[in-house]
Amino acid sequence: MALTRDIIPMPDWIRSELLSRGMLTAYEARPEYQRNDYLGWITRAKLEATRRKRLDELERGGVYMRMVWRGLSPLADAAASIWPAAWPSDRAKSPATMDGA
């Protein structure tokens, strides 16, 4: 679903920061409206310290602009990308049953 509000282009400094923190994949996994809102929220901050705190929030995950967000955190995204590769191809197991039971 396309956004109906103005799309905020990602500034180069934010892209560089996301890459240097290893957050670009987690950022791109968020819904389009959240990515757009975060760009506006971060770029509207007047102080560098505030921009950094807002990037820190995005990095922690579990929140969306200071509100609880039930999407995956960057750590959960990383775990989800590793576990399926470790599962036998004939049947998927949850991490709790990976002992072969």
H/E run at residue 69: none
- The pair of three-digit structure tokens given for residue 64, joined into one six-digit string: 């969306």
* 61-78 tens-digit pLDDT: 777 777 777 775 555 545
Q: Is the pTM of this model over 0.75?
A: no
Of the two residues 86 and 39, the one the predictor is more confident about is 39
**Number of residues assigned to the chain:** 101
Residues 6+ apart with CB under 8 A from 84: 92
